[in-house]
Amino acid sequence: MAPKKLYIKTYGCQMNVYDSERMAEAMGGEGYETTERPEDADMILLNTCHIREKAAEKVYSELGRYKGLKAARPDLKIGVAGCVAQAEGEEIMRRQPMVDLVVGPQSYHRLPEMEAKVRSGGKALDTDFPEEDKFDHLKGRPKAKRGPTAFLTVQEGCDKFCAFCVVPYTRGAEVSRPAERVLTEARDLVERGVREITLLGQNVNAYHGHDGGLAGLIHALAEVDGLERIRFTTSHPNDMDEALIEAHGTCDKLMPYLHLPVQAGSDKILKRMNRQHTAEQYLRLIERLRAARPDLHLSGDFIVGFPEETEADFQATLDLIEAVEYGSAFSFKYSERPGTPAAERPQVPEDEKDDRLQRLQALLTKQQRSLQDAMVGRDVHVLFEKPGRLPGQMVGKSEYLHAVHVETSGIVPGDLARIRIESSGPNSLKGVMYPL
């Protein structure tokens, strides 16, 4: 009997990428193989994100694209998972009756039984926050070879309740996976070819599944033979403790790149966002991190046009960016999220948001290019991931997360090599094998 085909489209953050992998593995135990083509699928699953503007409407639009497939093949099963599923629940099935199942991000371990119910002619909805740990109920990862990098979720949920964010409502309270289970999964990934692991969490540095917190987990992972690199994302400034700061200077396997969102540089706006820190506290934290690891590259998140933001407030954000010098960043116009406190406040006009975003992104792009150009002539260590677009070219990531292109022979994905950077492009670096 031919295997059934599963098509998963993933929206949003790295945690959704990880969740999609685990959903595919859960359904693999039910006889499904993944496919890259929705036309070939027996089940289509949209793993959604609720962070971006008009996220729910984009999901409904995507579902509309599959109406023809469903009409031609009534046995095709269509599901919606993730944060939009959690937020919208039964509304998804009401607006799109062709949807067979809706499952929230904390319940996807129940996908096999939900799929069985759908096969029997019913519909399935599960947006609970179950007491059981979903990771305990997922089948072990299959032993197929993996690429050299992998995501590994260690913490979920958020207790911060930033005024603009829906995550506490869609992902629930902060929970951490026990360290031994994380280490077991990490060893399994390494056995299958992974050399770099990125630890994931909504507030990953709030991890408390190890006696030593996230720093303790990182040091334990550093003892795993064959694991060469460790990263983590996304962090909250208030959870960056001294042990984690110190780990950036003492753990050789922890890469010198940190994503540490601040969102704004105005204390008034930070307070209105409920960030629970000031711009000065953030800047002093950066100083301590760079004292521990002087070559640390920083990334951040910024929201422009938050309700009641004035030009002076926006200028304070630009001043903070100038002070920090970011290697990369993500920046967005504020958009309302129903049910969040900020959605009920006076909004900044769209044309002002547009103008501020352009000015902010111009400054961030200037900083990114400056730091990339400064890499020319330096030696970096590149973990190669895949062939490049040109014959004989390989692409990988430096310890600073720069994409690096190298024209070389004898290099395969998973190799780690010393590279001298000889030129800088808009979004990547080009290098040659060292020594010259």
Q: Is 13 annotated as a binding residue?
A: yes
| Domain co-membership, 63 together with 153 | no
- At 436, the pLDDT band (50, 70, 90 cuts) reads very low
Residue where the block lists tokens 């711009």: 279
| Domain co-membership, 118 together with 160 | no
pLDDT at position 267: 98
Residue range 343-372, pLDDT digits in tens: 889 999 999 999 999 999 999 999 999 999
Domain assignment of residue 416, given as a range? 379-433
| Domain co-membership, 105 together with 158 | no
Query: Which DSSP string do the residues of 208-231 spell out, in sequence order?
Result: -SSTTHHHHHHHHHTTSTT--EEE
| Domain co-membership, 13 together with 63 | yes
First-to-final CA distance of the chain: 55
| Domain co-membership, 307 together with 411 | no
Domain boundary among 325, 359, 374: 374
Between 13-27, 90-104, 248-262, 365-379, the lowest mean confidence (pLDDT) is in 13-27
Does 267 reside within a domain? no
Domain count, the chain: 4
| Domain co-membership, 52 together with 94 | yes
- Cα–Cα distance between 50 and 308 in angstroms, integer? 23
Residue range 133-189, pLDDT digits in tens: 555 655 555 556 789 999 999 998 899 999 998 887 777 889 999 999 999 999 999
| Domain co-membership, 10 together with 94 | yes
- Cα–Cα distance between 39 and 169 in angstroms, integer? 34
CATH of residue 189's domain is 3.30.750.210
pTM of the model: 0.81
Contacts 24+ apart (CB under 8 A), 250-254: 251/218, 251/219, 251/222, 252/222, 253/218, 253/221, 253/222, 253/227, 253/228, 253/229, 254/218, 254/222, 254/230
Determine the Cα angle at 232 with ends 265 and 387, to 5°. 110
Between 84-88, 215-219, 308-312, the lowest mean confidence (pLDDT) is in 84-88
- For the cut 80, the answer to whether the pLDDT of residue 435 exceeds it is no
pLDDT at position 220: 98
Does 163 reside within a domain? yes
Residue range 400-418, pLDDT digits in tens: 999 999 998 788 999 999 9
Q: Is 251 annotated as a binding residue?
A: no
- Cα–Cα distance between 9 and 186 in angstroms, integer? 25
Of the candidates 81, 106, 86, 252, the residue with the CA atom closest to the CA atom of residue 177: 106
What are the φ/ψ torsions at residue 53 (nearest 5 degrees)?
-60, 135
CATH of residue 74's domain is 3.40.50.12160
Domain boundary among 255, 272, 302: 255
| Mean pLDDT of the chain, nearest integer | 91
Of the candidates 278, 13, 299, the residue with the CA atom closest to the CA atom of residue 166: 13
Domain boundary among 94, 126, 158: 126
Does 261 reside within a domain? no
pLDDT at position 309: 97
CA 23 to chain centre: 16
CATH of residue 386's domain is 2.40.50.140
- Cα–Cα distance between 317 and 298 in angstroms, integer? 16
Does 132 reside within a domain? no
Q: Which residue has the higher pLDDT, 5 or 170?
A: 5
- For the cut 80, the answer to whether the pLDDT of residue 314 exceeds it is yes
| Domain co-membership, 237 together with 148 | yes
| Domain co-membership, 343 together with 401 | no
